[in-house]
Chains A and B, each alone.
Chain A
Amino acid sequence: MSSPADLVLRERVPETWFVEVVRTWAFARRNVIMARRNVFFVFELAFWPGVAMLSHGLLTRFLALDAKMTAFILIGTVALSTVQVCQLDVAYAVLFDIWSKSMKHQFLTPIGIRHMAVGSWLVGVARGVTVFALMAVIGSWAFGFDFVGGGPGSLALFLLGCCLCSLIIGLFVCSLVLLFGTRAETSAWAAVNFTVMFSGIYYPVSVLPGWAQVVAAGIPLTYFLDACRQGYGFEAQFTHAWLKGFALTGLYVVLAHWALASAITRSRGTGLLLKLSE
């Protein structure tokens, strides 16, 4: 038997790779619109990275560091700012919905984690690269820091590495927020800064105590910083640093995806997903 429901032509979109792109792009577009509407956008993008670059640059002046040492410190400054800006965009995929209590709409649609993650990450990459460029200009103008000192290839890999680390961090932040609700927001970011501390951001990991070095070896950013600094003539702390960094990144991306998927399933079980929508 057929009812009018079957007779009415309901054109369903077939599931093709193009639809994958469309869904991903929807998240990217939303982040762009939200950024445009945010009056603090330029402030967020330029102010803190600018302040970080100037203050750290001045510090290197005060300590009378040579060009090589200055590069060591400023690479850390750039990495931290890029990662922080980029991961924020990834977290926005979930945070916008949490802040506006519209969580359930998104999970009513047939999307996957990959769409929200990649879509918002792409905007994060654009922001991260902008921040990097801004810092490069300030750094080279004020402190004569040569950002392509390690070669363009090394620079590109370094930026890619930083952005992928942001993807991982952003996904973990999303998972924590979906598991524990809005009260997890601040602690999630605290955790980011805590892990970054282990990756030898302004110092070689060799100065860390033994147990902390073990932790550092498990963080991809450690390898990216090391590999990038090798380009400036610093002694390698790790062999095959790029390779290890990206391999570890791949592993963490899979883990973060799994963590977010589990967090979503769990919050569907506990009802938090609904609580976040009312």
Chain B
Amino acid sequence: MPAWYDCRRMLAVDAKDLTKTFRSGWFGRRRKEALRGASLQVPSGTIFGLLGPNGAGKTTLLSILATLLLPDSGSATILGHDVVREAGAIRRRLNMASGNGSFVWSLRPGEVLSFYGGLYGLSGRRLRMKVDQLIEQCELGPYAKTEYNALSTGLKQRLAMAKALLNDPEVLFLDEPTLGLDPDVSIRLRAQIALLRRERGTTIILTTHYMREAEELCDEIAFIKAGRILAQGTADELKRQIRIGDVISLRLDPAAPRGLGDLPGILQLQARGEHIDCTVDAVDKRLPEILRWLYEQGVLVRDCQVHEPELEEVFVELAR
């Protein structure tokens, strides 16, 4: 974590009890509660991960914060500006890119950037320089003459990212930025995201379904489910908070001794190849007990490893 991390106190995003219900069908009779009192605080200069199952309300929450959607109730400020009353001020300082975004089909990358750059008020030499710089930064140079429709998914995503940097945003929302990208491109995009925060202090909120990505990039993570934030903290804090326990991975002979699952403190047993994963409540206490029991049963222990639960397991636990 960077040295300046602790000196930041300002909240870039401060949302309180946001609710949003979508209505559809005749006279809005079909209702879908997308947010039910979501609150979120994001300190300035952090990379913040918003995780949750499909339909949890991640995109809805980001859209409200990005002034694209009006909340039914609750309040939110971005950099101190109210998302409903001061949308204009926010739009100058915020930007957003999403994995499934798209642009006008027959514009070339430079033209897309010039158009939106113009809307941000850039013109002349300054606009040209900005566009050139972003095209280089996002490695779009060789595709300068390619129309948007003819770009591959990865290139489209890079263009979306370039567009999102046009106004030097202080707050940047990335909605599933690595959706559908190959590992190589994803790695470079993640490096770019980390660099943005490091060099420019940009506050970044990203949603993703890749737990590795969240763990690698995010200072802090919030879990959202059914329109509510269930837990918030660093990846380690969440793992501790959710207390799904540590995992003892054993390779035994015979492979699956009867009665192992009945020992006290064992929460879950799961076969994984030749190994058995035992999730236990407290590894310090349970490991000697298990080994003693195995010894007494005459079971041969060929391998034994202890590891922390993955964020994925925390996710599955929370999403249940």
Binding site for B on A (CB under 8 A): 1-8, 10-13, 15, 18-19, 22-23, 25-26, 29-30, 33-34, 37-38, 96-97, 99-102, 104-111, 115, 265, 268-271, 273-274, 277-278
Contact = CB atoms under 8 A, between A and B. Distances in A.
A114 to B, nearest CB: 13
A105 B163 contact: yes
Sorted nearest first, the 8 A-B pairs with minimum C-beta distance are A26-B118, A4-B201, A5-B201, A13-B121, A109-B119, A19-B121, A3-B8, A110-B91
30 contacts: A1-B10, A3-B8, A3-B10, A3-B201, A5-B44, A5-B201, A5-B203, A8-B199, A8-B200, A13-B120, A15-B121, A18-B123, A23-B119, A26-B118, A30-B104, A30-B111, A34-B107, A97-B104, A101-B102, A104-B68, A104-B96, A105-B163, A108-B66, A108-B68, A108-B91, A110-B119, A110-B120, A268-B68, A274-B68, A274-B69
* Residue among B4, B66, B91, B120 having the largest count of chain A Cβ atoms under 10 Å: B120
B47 to A, nearest CB: 13
The prevalent SS among residues of A at the interface is helix
Contacts of A105: 101, 103, 116, 163
Contact of A22 (B59, B101, B122, B168): B122
B91 A13 contact: no
B116 A109 contact: yes
Interface in B84-129: 88, 91-96, 100-107, 111, 114-123
Given A22-B122, A26-B118, 15 more contacts: A3-B10, A5-B12, A5-B201, A5-B202, A11-B168, A26-B117, A100-B105, A100-B148, A102-B104, A109-B167, A110-B121, A270-B23, A271-B20, A274-B69, A277-B102
* Residue among B148, B201, B203 having the largest count of chain A Cβ atoms under 10 Å: B201
Nearest to A116: B119
Interface of B: 4, 7-10, 12, 20, 22-23, 44-45, 59-60, 63, 66-70, 88, 91-96, 100-107, 111, 114-123, 147-148, 163, 167-168, 170, 199-203
